[in-house]
Amino acid sequence: MGIYLSAPKTDKVSEDGENERVRFGASSMQGWRSTMEDAHAAFPDLDNSTSFFGVYDGHGGKAVANFCAKYLHLQVLNQEAYLAGDLGTSLQKAFLRMDEMMRGQRGWRELAVLGDKIDKVSGLIEGFIFSPKSVEAKRSAFNDQIDQWSSEEGPHSDFDGPNSGSTACVAIIRNNQLVVANAGDSRCVISRKGQAYPLSKDHKPDIENEKDRILKAGGFIQVGRVNGSLNLARAIGDVEFKQNKQLPVEKQIVTANPDVTSVEICDDDEFLVIACDGIWDCMSNQQLVDYVGEQLKHERKLSVVCERVFERCLAPSTGGEGCDNMTMILVQFKKPIISTASTGNKPLSSNPSLEKDKSSGKAT
């Protein structure tokens, strides 16, 4: 079987939910690809005051994306920084912890279950949305075992980690604080008064700071790909690009270390979108914000809006854009936004990386 099907698989895996702070819709579609390698996680109530949403776009297989969807949010909860209120640091440490957890016998075994054997072992379907009913119950059981994760002995105990990998783009909302962490080319964009503001940047090998790190770590870039292979400069997994024992994790050829952006939500903010590059290859930031905004005038069910985006992006045949897996989470803010009286609202444009998307064509 090649990388494409003879006809696209257009069945969608979708869900909707809400609480007093947000409404969300999430969906995924395999499309023309021969396999589904995306996963996503949606927790409007990660705890009593916090919402968590993440999109994970796998490459070389689905195991790492599914691993992140199952465990990354739990690692956020497990960080001391999270308990201290430092969401950005807890996200960064959780991203890096994914690589650590996938080593050794236990990591190897879990990846096997979440990879090709997932349907047989757990009954889950490709492109699954990981959103269990009780996060706290999962967290309690998880914490009972987490300290032993990397210490099991036995076959494959020397497993360094998977050669497959995944992007990760995660948004955490707490009161009026929005924190986004990203590694790879999945993307988060917020709509403020109908204008698109990117809250993440794509990590491609030809970006100057990424290229500099790749070359200093002993890698090279060929035809826009790391070592002629990977078209991403940051990702979870991909252990073959993380073998320099003289360098810290954030300076490896490919790193899971995310960029973290924090902004304050104000009353002008309408919704945010987190999506894999299967969407952004077809629509610019502003085009997607415009399309979603128009759909929301007539459609209340947010997962339906996601599904319509897929249908708009899906290519009529293989050979160009619109042939990738597609995954999207749409989060709508409920009014009024809780403001912090002592600080006020911080404008998105105060951060030079958060400039309004002015392009009408493909996003950069």
- Angle between the N-to-C axes of helices 63-78 and 87-101, in degrees from 0 to 180, rounded to the nearest 10: 130
- Please, how many CA atoms are within 13 Å of residue 204, restricted to the half-sphere of its CB? 10
Helices (H), the chain: 63-78, 80-83, 87-101, 104-114, 118-122, 135-145, 208-216, 277-280, 285-295, 302-313
Say if 343 falls within a structural domain: no
Task: Specify the pLDDT at position 356.
Answer: 60
359 located within any domain: no
Predicted local confidence at residue 361, as pLDDT? 39
Residue 226 covered by a domain: no
Of the listed ranges 68-82, 136-150, 162-176, the one predicted with least confidence: 136-150
Residue 180 domain flag: yes
For residue 294, tell me if it sits in a domain: yes
pLDDT mean over 198-206: 97
Does residue 218 carry a pLDDT above 90? yes
| pLDDT 10s digits, 23-42 | 999 999 999 999 999 999 99
- Helix %, strand %, coil % of the chain (to 5): 30, 30, 40
- For residue 142, pLDDT over 90 is answered with no
In a domain, 270, yes or no: yes
Token pair listed for 23: 């409404």
CA distances from 113 to 8, 120, 205, 234 (A): 26, 9, 31, 25
Q: Which CATH number characterizes residue 269's domain?
A: 3.60.40.10
Q: Which domain holds residue 134?
A: 4-205+260-338
Query: How many domains, in total, are found in the chain?
Result: 1
What band does 358 get if pLDDT is binned at 50, 70 and 90? very low
Across all residues in the chain, what is the average pLDDT?
A: 87
Considering the domain boundaries, does residue 355 fall inside one?
no
Which residues lie closer than 8 Å to 289 by C-beta, 6 or more apart? 189, 191, 194, 195, 196, 273, 357
pLDDT of residue 16: 97
Strand partners, 197: 190
pLDDT-based confidence at 184, cuts 50/70/90?
very high
Q: Which is more confidently placed, 159 or 354?
A: 159
Q: Give the model's pLDDT for residue 157.
A: 78
Give the model's pLDDT for residue 319: 81
Report strand pairing: 38-47 vs 129-130. Answer: parallel
Residue 105 has pLDDT above 60, yes or no: yes
Looking at 89-93, 281-285, 359-363, which range is the least confident one? 359-363
Mean pLDDT of 239-264: 97
**What digits encode the pLDDT tens for the residues 343-356?**
334 445 434 345 56
Cis peptide before 248 (omega within 30 of 0): no
Q: Within a domain: residue 360?
A: no
